[in-house]
Structure 1
Amino acid sequence: MSALEHQHQTDRSRVRRALNASLAGVLLLWLCFAAQQGFDWRFLAVMPQAAAGLVGLLTAPLLHGSVAHVLANTTALLLLGTLAGTAYPKASLRALPLLWLGSGLGAWLLGQAGSHHLGASGITHGLGFLVFVLGLLRRDRAAIAAGMIAFLFYGGMLMSVLPREAGVSWESHLGGALAGIVAAFLFRRSDPRPARQKYSWELEEEFEAEQARRKAEDGFGTFETRAPDDVPVLWQREAPPEARSQVLPFRRRE
């Protein structure tokens, strides 16, 4: 197996693992949403500035208020989770607890007293900001591409961290976004940089430089051979004795 084929196989394996992990997270959200239809779940949500509401830091991301709510987070979690897990598997895994708690703390500290905050949108905002900021910090081609994809699909997250729509927990969005930024700085070196593939013109320049180096060392071109110092004479025409040391007469010019 060539190095290129091995790299392609490794990339496919990373995408598959990231997608499977995102699917598992989505399945957990839907199972919890189905289960919460059978009991009063409000004590598991984040209740700002209340000691009892601190329980929601652990449980609120698993709760959703409607099918549309959980469906919106399903789409974001599938895309951003797969993208983050593919580009930064180690950083994403280490950042997840920080994003989880950060979204809840944002709601608990900034939310209005007496309200209930729930949903995984704070985590999805954290993933979006994590991928985008890591692209700015690492600046390799894979990181920049991942950041551009995240911004293309969810660039609106930059505005949803501010109060815009009633009933939307911008506080948890902001908490998750800040946690994503902090996690990007903390874990930016968790994943090794991918091997940089060279452009064709770079390979040509390296080839020409190697030719010049060999030419300078040998004194000849790369594909030229050095002439031997002593070439044996295999055949020589023997001149007649009378022709040896003979001077040809020339007519004098008058």
Structure 2
Amino acid sequence: MNQENQFKISKSIFTIPVVYVVVIWFVYWLEIQFDYNFNKYGVYPRTLEGFRGVFLTHFIHSNTSHLFNNSIPLFVLLSSLMYFYKDVAYKVLFFGGFFTGFLTWCIARESYHIGASGIVYLLFSFILFSGIIKKHYRLVALSLIIIFLYGSMIWYVLPIKEGMSWEGHLSGFLSGFLFAFIYRKKGIIKKEYQFKETEFDLLFDENGNFNPPVLEEESENLEE
């Protein structure tokens, strides 16, 4: 693979993560610039109006700290998804994002739920469980790195911090596990090596007994 092709692959891997992060920062900038609050466009459980948040919640954040805390893991996890799972990356992102928002709409408390945290937990869970299910050394290594960097995230699927949408985190985590199972045969799969029969193998029968080949001259003598 030449350098030009490598550059194209690298560019395609980082395009979606960069665009996503830029969009969520731009949405927050619009709120600040025009003194507008988008929180009411988040998920509000079990109401028709609140259902629009299933599609919009992942782009809305309450403050710069909330936004910054989501931006770095979003970029890392999205880049990993685009590299290792380019065949199903968009399906995981869009369908997984919808399912995460929908599950939040079904189970969450009556409040507005906003933020890209659901997507972060979706990707975290998908890559983690996919690496374990596939038993692929590179994916397992990536999973271990993710656990090392974001391992404390696991606890936030439980109601341990006031004002945090643990329901959104839990929804993303469960969605990631579901999609890891659905796409267990997609992405990088550990190859099973199949050994081809060689001339050396033909010297032995199925019981392992030595069976030398009969040469043409010998066969002529046998016929005589």
Question: TM-score scaled to structure 2, two decimals?
Answer: 0.78
After superposition, what is the alpha-carbon deviation per residue over 1:191-248, rounded to whole angstroms, capped at 9, x for unaligned?
A: 253779x9xxxxxxx9xxx8x939x69xxxxxxxxxxxxxxxxxxxxxxxxxxxxxxx
User: Is the 8 Å Cα contact of residues 46 and 105 (structure 2) preserved in structure 1?
Assistant: yes
Cα distance in 2, alignment partners of residues 126 and 8 from structure 1: 33
After superposition, what is the alpha-carbon deviation per residue over 1:151-201, rounded to whole angstroms, capped at 9, x for unaligned?
A: 2211222211111101111100011111111111112222253779x9xxx
Match of 1:152 among 135, 148, 155: 148
**Matched residue, 2:76:** 79
The Cα shift of 1:144 comes to 1.4
Map of 1:38-49 to 2, 5 A cutoff? 38=34, 39-49=36-46
Give ranges in structure 2 of 5+ residues lacking alignment.
Answer: 205-224
Runs of 4+ in 1 over 3 A off after TM superposition: 7-16
After the TM superposition, which of the residue ranges 22-31 and 186-195 deviates more from structure 2?
186-195
Cα distance in 2, alignment partners of residues 16 and 152 from structure 1: 27
Cα distance in 1, alignment partners of residues 67 and 31 from structure 2: 12
Cα 1:155–1:74 shift into 2, 3 Å: same
**Matched residue, 2:26:** 31
Match of 2:12 among 11, 17, 24: 17
Match of 2:65 among 68, 91, 98: 68
Match of 1:89, SS?
coil
**Matched residue, 2:134:** 138
Cα 1:122–1:83 shift into 2, 3 Å: same
What is the number of residues matched between the two proteins?
Answer: 200
Q: Highest Rg: 1 or 2?
A: 1
Match of 1:98, SS?
helix
Paired-residue identity, %: 22
Cα distance in 2, alignment partners of residues 100 and 133 from structure 1: 17
User: Is the 8 Å Cα contact of residues 58 and 116 (structure 2) preserved in structure 1?
Assistant: yes
**Matched residue, 1:118:** 114
Cα 1:42–1:35 shift into 2, 3 Å: same
Give ranges in structure 1 of 5+ residues lacking alignment.
Answer: 1-5, 199-205, 218-254
